[in-house]
Structure 1
Amino acid sequence: MGAYVPVRWVAPLLYGVVLAGGLYSAAVGPEDGRPGAAGWRTAGFAVAIGALFVLEAAGRRRAAARVPLFVGRCVLVGAVVLLDASGLSQVLFVLVPFTAYFAFGRTAALALAALFPAGLLTAYVLTAPGWYRRQERVADLLMLSVGLVLAVSMAAVAVGEQRARREVEAYAARVAELSAATERNRLARDIHDSLGHHLTAMSVQLEMAADFQDLDPDAARRALEEARRSVRLALGDVRQSVRALRDGAARPTLAVALAALARDGAARPRVTVEVSGDEQGYGEAELTALYRAAQEAVTNARRHAGASRVTVVVRLAEGAARLEVTDDGCGFPSQDDSAGFGLLGMRERVHLVAGSVDVDSGPGGAGTRVTVTVPRGAAKGAART
C-alpha cells in the first residue's frame, strides 16, 4: 500500500499568502532604510517561494522520493523565513509536521511539532531576557503552537479518511471476489442440475437404443425419441435460464416443474410425484432448492441405482417444506453419500436456505431415501443475516 497523500491545496495556498505578504512588506518600504539590501533580500525571498512551488509539483510526480522532498522543503522554508522581512513566513513552519505526518507517520509529525515551539522558546530564553513580559513574544509562541496543533490534527483527519477509503476499496474488492465465486458456484450447480440431468437421460436412452437396435427395433426407436425429447427439454432449460438472467422471467410452480420431471425419461424408471400444501410464503430460492434436490435424486436413481420406480413426495407445511425421494435401486454405502458433485451441490443449495439433507441408503438392493427439509421464509432470513 502506498504512502498517504497530503492535501494538495494547503501548501500552495500558504506559499501564495506568504509571497503576497512579503512582497507587500517590501513595497511599503525596507525596515533598515537600505533599498539595495532590501532588493536582493526580496529577490531571494521570491526565488525561494518559487522553488517551493516547484518542489510541490515535483512531489506530485515523484511521491516515492519522500526523504529528499521533505529535506528540500525544510531547507527552503528556512531560507524563506530568513529572507522575509515581514515575519509572516513563520507560518510555513506548520507545513513541516503537516507533510511529515503523511510521509513518515504520526510519531515523526508529533516530534517535529514539539520541536518548533521548543526551539523558539529556547531562542527567546537565550536572546531575549524577560521575553515573557512582552506580549508579542508570548503571542508568537502561542500562535505557533496553535497552528502546529491544527496542522497535525488536519493531517490526522486526512490520513484517517484516506485509510478508511482504502479499507472500503479493499473490502469492496473482496466482496466482488466472493460474489464472483458465489456466482460461479451457483452456475456450476445450475449447469449440473439442469443440463447434467438431461444429458444423463440422453445417455441412458442412447445406450438403450444401441442395445436394442437389433433385438427390438421398436424399443430402440422409442429410446431415440426419448433422447430427442431430452434434447428439446435441455434446450428449453437453457433458454429459460437465459431469459431469467436477462429479464427475470417467471418460473413454473414447483408442482408443474416436478410433474415435468416425472414425464422426463418416462421409459425407466417410473417416477411418481405427489405435492401437497401451498407454495405461498416460500421464496424462489427455497422452491428451487427443493426442485433441484428432487431432480438430482431422480437423476442418481436413473443413472446409478438402476431403479425401476422412484417416488417423489413434497409436503409444503406452514413452518417448513419436506421432500422425500425414494427409489428401489441398488443403493450405495452410506459413508460415500457425500461423494460426487451432485450431492455436494444439493447440500450447498439446501444449506443456503437454512435447510438440511439426509441420505439413507445401503448396498445390496436396499434402495435410497433422500430427505430434504427447508424452513419457510428461510431465504429472507438468510438475506437479512
Structure 2
Amino acid sequence: MDVPKVQPQPASRKWRLTGWLLAAVWLFFLNQPLGTALGQAEPWRKWLGVGSLVAFGVAYVLLFEWARSHRQNGRPIPRARAVVLLLGLLVLGLVGIPGTGTDWMTTLVFVATGAVFLLPGSWALVVVALAALTPLVAGYLLPSWSGVSGVFFAVLLASFAMFGVAALAQRNGELRAAQQEIGRLAVAEERARTARDLHDILGHSLTVVAIKAELAGRLVEVDPSRAATEIAEVEQLARAALADVRRTVGAYRGVRLAEEVAGARSALIAAGIAADLPADLPELPADRDQLFGWAVREGVTNVVRHSGAHRCTIRVGPDAVEISDDGRGPTSEDAATGHGLIGLRERAQRLDATVSVGRRPQGHGFVLRVGLPAGAR
C-alpha cells in the first residue's frame, strides 16, 4: 500500500509574526550608528549613512525570516547562498562608513548572529570569532578606532543569544516534522484498517451470496419454493453487507461471535458442507468475543472458498476458537499471505493472541486456531 504524503502545514499567522519580531528586535543595536549618521554635517554623508543602515536593517530582517522559514519547514539552508547573503550584509555595513564612521562595526553584530542562524556550527564559529576580533584589531592598529572595543562583547553576547533562537527554531521545525509524520502514519493506518475490514466483510458476504445464488439457480426448476427462499436470503445478505460497509466507513464496524456462528451455519449449509457447530457459546469479554467472531468469519470463508470439504467443525472455548475441515484447504502460501489472515493476525496481536494455520494432525483437512495465552482475561 502506498503511504500518503502529508504536505507540510504552513506556519500560523501568530508564529510568522513572532518570527518577524525576533528578527526586528535586534535592530536596536543600530541606534548608535544611526545617531552618528544623523549627526553628520555633510548631507551626502548623512544620507549615505542613513540609507545604508535602512537597507542593512531590511536586508537582515528578510534574511532572518528566510532562514527561519527553512528551519521551521525542515528544509536545509543552501550554504553557498547563505555565505553570499552574509557577505552582502557586510558590504552594506562597509558602504555606510563615510556616514557612520567607526560605528559601522556595530553591523558586525548582525553578521555574526546571521552566521549563527544560517551556517553550520564550525563555519558560524569562525565568522563570530572574526567579527569579535575585528574591533579589537582595528583599535590596536588604528588609534582613532580605539573606542569600538565594546563591539567585541556585543558580538559575543548577541551570538550566544542567537544560538538559543536558532536552537528553538530547529526544535520547532523538528516538532512539526514529527507531527506531520504522525499524521502520515495515522492516515496510512486508517487506510490499512479500512482495506482490511472491507476485505473481511465483503469477502465473506460475497462468497455466501455467490454460493446461494448458484444453489438457487440449480433449484429454480426442481424446487422453486426453496429457490425463492435462497434468493430472499441473497437479498438479505446483500443488504447486510451494504450496512456493514457503511458501518466500516463510519469507523464503528464490529462483529459478534454468536452472529458469526449463525451466519456460518447458513453459509456452510448453502455450500453443501455439514456444519458441526457449538450449541452453546461461553460468556466472553467484548474484545475477545469480537476477535473470535472475526476468526469464525475468516475460517468459514476459507472453508467455503478453498477447502472442497464435506464437513466443517467449529469449537469455541474461553481462551481459543478453532475452525477445522476435512478438505484440501488453501496452500501454505495462501495461508501465510492472504489478506484476511493478515488482518486476523493484526487483530489478534492487540490481545496478545496467536493465530495458527495448517494441516490437521490426523487425516485430511485444515485447521485455523486463534488462542490467547494461559491466564489471559
Q: Shorter-chain TM-score: what band?
A: 0.7 to 0.9
- Residue matched to 1:98: 113
- Residue matched to 1:370: 368
Structure 1 residue identity aligned to 2:30: V
Distance 2:92 2:228 in 1: 94
- Identical pairs, percent: 27
Once the two structures are TM-superposed, the CA of residue 89 in structure 1 deviates from its matched residue by 5.0
Alignment map for 1:13-52 (pairs within 5 Å): 13-15=25-27, 18-19=30-31, 22-23=34-35, 35=41, 37=42, 39-52=43-56
Q: Alpha carbons of 1:371 and 1:10: their partners in 2 closer, same or farther (altered >3 Å)? A: closer
Of 306, 309, 319, which aligns to 2:308? 306
- Residue matched to 2:74: none
- Residue matched to 1:262: 265
Structure 1 residue identity aligned to 2:182: V
Once the two structures are TM-superposed, the CA of residue 203 in structure 1 deviates from its matched residue by 0.8
Distance 1:336 1:235 in 2: 27
User: Contact 1:271/1:310 (CA < 8 Å) preserved in 2?
Assistant: yes
User: Contact 1:333/1:363 (CA < 8 Å) preserved in 2?
Assistant: no
Q: Which secondary structure does the structure 1 equivalent of 2:161 belong to?
A: helix
User: Contact 1:309/1:327 (CA < 8 Å) preserved in 2?
Assistant: yes
Q: Alpha carbons of 1:207 and 1:254: their partners in 2 closer, same or farther (altered >3 Å)? A: closer
Distance 1:313 1:215 in 2: 35
Equivalent residues, number: 348
- Residue matched to 1:114: 129
Once the two structures are TM-superposed, the CA of residue 342 in structure 1 deviates from its matched residue by 2.6
Moved more, 229-238 or 6-15: 6-15
- Residue matched to 2:241: 234
RMSD, matched Cα:
3.9
Distance 1:363 1:19 in 2: 90
- Residue matched to 2:90: 74
Alignment map for 1:147-186 (pairs within 5 Å): 147-186=154-193
Once the two structures are TM-superposed, the CA of residue 298 in structure 1 deviates from its matched residue by 0.8
User: Contact 1:15/1:49 (CA < 8 Å) preserved in 2?
Assistant: no
Distance 2:131 2:65 in 1: 29
Moved more, 203-212 or 50-59: 50-59
Give the TM-score normalised by structure 1.
0.74
Alignment map for 1:310-349 (pairs within 5 Å): 310-316=312-318, 321-332=319-330, 334=332, 337-349=335-347
Q: Which secondary structure does the structure 1 equivalent of 2:123 belong to?
A: helix
Distance 1:11 1:346 in 2: 55
Distance 2:158 2:23 in 1: 11
Structure 2 residue identity aligned to 1:315: G
Once the two structures are TM-superposed, the CA of residue 217 in structure 1 deviates from its matched residue by 3.9
Once the two structures are TM-superposed, the CA of residue 81 in structure 1 deviates from its matched residue by 5.0
Once the two structures are TM-superposed, the CA of residue 199 in structure 1 deviates from its matched residue by 0.6
Distance 1:16 1:339 in 2: 67
Once the two structures are TM-superposed, the CA of residue 296 in structure 1 deviates from its matched residue by 0.8
User: Contact 1:309/1:328 (CA < 8 Å) preserved in 2?
Assistant: yes
Distance 1:228 1:296 in 2: 22
Q: Which secondary structure does the structure 1 equivalent of 2:372 belong to?
A: strand
Q: Which secondary structure does the structure 2 equivalent of 1:166 belong to?
A: helix
Q: Alpha carbons of 1:374 and 1:181: their partners in 2 closer, same or farther (altered >3 Å)? A: farther
User: Contact 1:205/1:227 (CA < 8 Å) preserved in 2?
Assistant: yes
Once the two structures are TM-superposed, the CA of residue 314 in structure 1 deviates from its matched residue by 2.1
Structure 2 portions without partners, runs of 5+? 1-7, 9-15, 68-77
Distance 1:377 1:59 in 2: 64
- Residue matched to 1:357: 355
Q: Alpha carbons of 1:271 and 1:238: their partners in 2 closer, same or farther (altered >3 Å)? A: farther
Q: Which secondary structure does the structure 1 equivalent of 2:329 belong to?
A: coil
- Residue matched to 1:146: 153
Q: Which secondary structure does the structure 2 equivalent of 1:213 belong to?
A: helix
Moved more, 357-366 or 116-125: 357-366
Structure 1 portions without partners, runs of 5+? 380-385
User: Contact 1:305/1:329 (CA < 8 Å) preserved in 2?
Assistant: yes
User: Contact 1:326/1:368 (CA < 8 Å) preserved in 2?
Assistant: yes
Once the two structures are TM-superposed, the CA of residue 368 in structure 1 deviates from its matched residue by 1.9
User: Contact 2:207/2:301 (CA < 8 Å) preserved in 1?
Assistant: yes
Structure 2 residue identity aligned to 1:195: L
Q: Alpha carbons of 1:146 and 1:94: their partners in 2 closer, same or farther (altered >3 Å)? A: same
User: Contact 1:204/1:303 (CA < 8 Å) preserved in 2?
Assistant: no
- Does residue 112 of structure 2 align to residue 125 of structure 1? no
